[in-house]
Chains A and B, each alone.
Chain A
Amino acid sequence: MPLTGLQIFKLLPNTNCRECGVPTCLAFAMKLAAGKESLDKCPYASEQAKAALGAASAPPIRGVTIGRGERAITVGEETVFFRHEKTFVRRPGLFQVLGTQGLDESWLSTRIERAGETFQVDGVAVVEAPAAPELCAAAAERGFPVAVLASTPEGAAAMAERIRDHRPLLVPPAGTNSAAYVSLAARLGIPLVVSGIDLAVEAARCGVADLLLEPPGDNPQSLHHSLTAIRRGALDRIHPGLGYPVFLRAGKFETAVLGISKFASVLAIEKPGIETWLPLWTLRQNIYTDPQKPLQMDAGVYPIGEPDDKSPLLVTTNFSLTYFVVSSELESAGLASHLAVVEAEGLSVLTAWSAGKFSGDRVAKALRAMRATERVSHRTVIIPGYVSIISGELEDALNEGWRVLVGPQEASDLAPYFRDVWDAVRAE
């Protein structure tokens, strides 16, 4: 916890000299505690006061960068235990473990778009082996951040030295206490994983400032306990060795799930492939979304399937979830269509309408601006069932013989709707 007003007051001269612009030292201390004042306003603050305040206002969990260049990844800097208290800020990095199989080009260059984010393997975790230094070099060449999964200090040195300019993460064997890794990290100036809080303090003393903690625990319960203890302890500042991001070896899928939802910052994932990674990427996206800012799509017309000018035109808001639910239903039902997404500050349909952001006028204006009306040769647009009330206004605003159809309320009813209503309308 940051220092309280009273704690800060005890560090001040207590002369009430007013040179800081505040009548009393106590009042100044209170303002400092609230983050509304800066200690350098006090000409008489002691070195002790400066040190104490400096340490207390440093972020509880250090930011650590791994890799260099465009794909460098920074983790840490978290400030809350529950995401709803504010938000989680730095997406954990998911690193693909590379053993003897080497770089699988097609998997490592896989990219998937989802809700405005690109999912890809964030880095590689190379297992120590005779050919590992070359593998590290190849991966670093391709821009991947690299984690060195060491078994021995000599092997680790060979790998890390080969790519020292690419800022690799040095990962000693789990539970290791060896000073050799600390000196290697210090010598190369690279971040290091440590297996305990006292070790973290020791490493920091030896000049390794960028650390990650690897929690003990080889089963879900003990891992959950460690992960919880580290996050809570770091935020409560109970030990200086706690204020670091967490590294996790996720041999099992469930371990990765636990780590992503419970505070891990770099995860080494053993199994490649979409079947494993898609749920993990998606979970990370969900957990690390800022609760205050719902995900928004860019406004525009999104093709579903291969639509042509006879395909239906639907319109909805730019709340990502809405877009996904609707597009998903259309895709599963094989309904090639044009889905026009209207800028509505990421609000859902009913919320947007009640906030005046999905009125007939606004929708008409948006459809024109994105030239959605030009995509189709028919003059029919389908609106969400929950806002049937705007249909008249929208028809008037579109004019030119446009007809508004009221679609279903639930996206899951789109397929039957198309079967029962759209086909009949088209036949007319």
Chain B
Amino acid sequence: MMPDLKPKKWAGAIRTVTLGAGSRRPLTVGGGNGLPLHTFEGEFPHRPLLALEINGADAAGADLVMVRVNGSPEEAAAEVRAVLDRVDVPLIVKGPGAGPKQNEVLARVAEEFSGEGLVLHSACQEDYKTLAAVAVAYGHVLAAESPIDMNLAKQLNILLADASMDLNRVLIDPFTGGLGYGLEYTYSVMERIRLAALGGDAMLNSPMICLVGPEAWKAKEARVSGVNWEVATALPLIEAGAEVVVLRHPESLARLRGQLDSWFGGDACR
């Protein structure tokens, strides 16, 4: 019926990164030694994780959750504490954007919740030292963000490694362009990063994280196509190598989980 392909074998593999610790149920992501979802010719010990962006809601079937913090360090800490008390899954903490305020806020959160294995989002080339220091000191994971550029993604990982960050505790965020608003740029840079990683580049083989929810729902088209719009943004990025996908709508999450079950079985990823 269909051809039997000679399986493609690669020199490299994606690093495994564990998210969540302490009072969290830890989750591991990455470890694949083939192109994304190419389960017919590679080993993929961990399935992609689906995160829900929550604001006061519960985890609703997500593997992990993301909370945005703004305001003062005290307010941020209180917000994070409230979420940690309500759910037992790992937590991504998204700061207000690179700068002294984010450093202050995330450093406080990192210290107060030492040992919880939070994902701090995000460090970038212009501003990474503080976040790297607190990630190391307090046992957290770092999201390393670059502007849809493979060379800058690599450079940032090199800088982080130089700053004593363990690269097995880093996720690459290549910056998600929304469907219709740059998706294909993100898609292709991710395919290229994945190819470099599988070719053996140890500075580019971090699992990748995409913040789909915020980008998808910004689009005016989302008013018409809602959940379909978010799913059509997320699924191609999973095909391109996204292994942590942050969504906004629980229905998108449920539908994507159904898709991923096809490759990875209905087993819990925990």
Q: Mark A residues whose CB is within 8 Å of B.
A: 82-84, 114, 195-198, 215-216, 219-222, 224-226, 228-230, 232-233, 238-239, 242, 253-254, 257-258, 261-262, 274-276, 278-280, 282-283, 285-287, 289, 291, 321, 324-325, 328, 331-332, 412
Contact = CB atoms under 8 A, between A and B. Distances in A.
Given A278-B224, A286-B187, A289-B184, A239 B3 contact: yes
Interface in B8-43: 37-40
A296 to B, nearest CB: 15
A279 B188 contact: no
A238 B3 contact: yes
B235 A216 contact: no
A276 B227 CA distance: 10
Interface string B178-199: 0111111001100110010000
Contact of B5 (A84, A232, A278, A328): A232
Contacts of A230: 2-3
A165 to B, nearest CB: 33
A248 B229 CA distance: 21
A279 B225 contact: yes
A25 to B, nearest CB: 32
Contacts of B235: 254, 257-258, 261
A330 to B, nearest CB: 11
Contacts of B179: 279, 282-283, 286
B224 A257 contact: no
Contacts of A328: 181, 219-220
B136 to A, nearest CB: 31
B3 A257 contact: no
8 contacts: A84-B192, A216-B1, A226-B2, A261-B235, A283-B236, A286-B179, A286-B183, A325-B181
A216 B229 contact: no
B124 interface: no
B231 A254 contact: yes
A275 B224 contact: yes
Nearest to B222: A279
> At the interface, is chain A mostly helix, strand, loop or mixed?
helix
B255 interface: yes
A13 B220 CA distance: 65
Nearest to A215: B2
Contacts of B177: 321
Contact of A279 (B3, B38, B191, B221): B221
A424 B218 CA distance: 28
A114 B179 CA distance: 13
Given A278-B225, A286-B179, A220 B263 contact: yes
Nearest to A256: B232
A274 B224 contact: yes
Contact of B228 (A242, A253, A325): A253
B111 interface: no
Interface in B209-225: 218-221, 224-225
Interface in B253-270: 255, 259, 262-263
Contact of A275 (B219, B228, B236): B228
Nearest to A283: B232
A228 to B, nearest CB: 7
A331 B219 CA distance: 11
Interface in B147-194: 177, 179-184, 187-188, 191-192
A279 B232 contact: yes
Nearest to B219: A328
A276 B231 CA distance: 11
Contact of B180 (A222, A253, A285): A285
B73 interface: no
B167 to A, nearest CB: 25
Given A232-B5, A233-B5, A283-B179, A83 B184 contact: yes
B267 to A, nearest CB: 14
A233 B8 CA distance: 12
Given A275-B224, A276-B225, A291-B184, 7 more contacts: A84-B191, A195-B1, A224-B239, A229-B2, A238-B5, A254-B231, A257-B231
Contact of B38 (A84, A220, A228, A233): A228
B226 interface: yes
A219 B262 contact: yes
A285 B37 CA distance: 23
A261 B239 contact: yes
A333 to B, nearest CB: 11
A385 B196 CA distance: 35
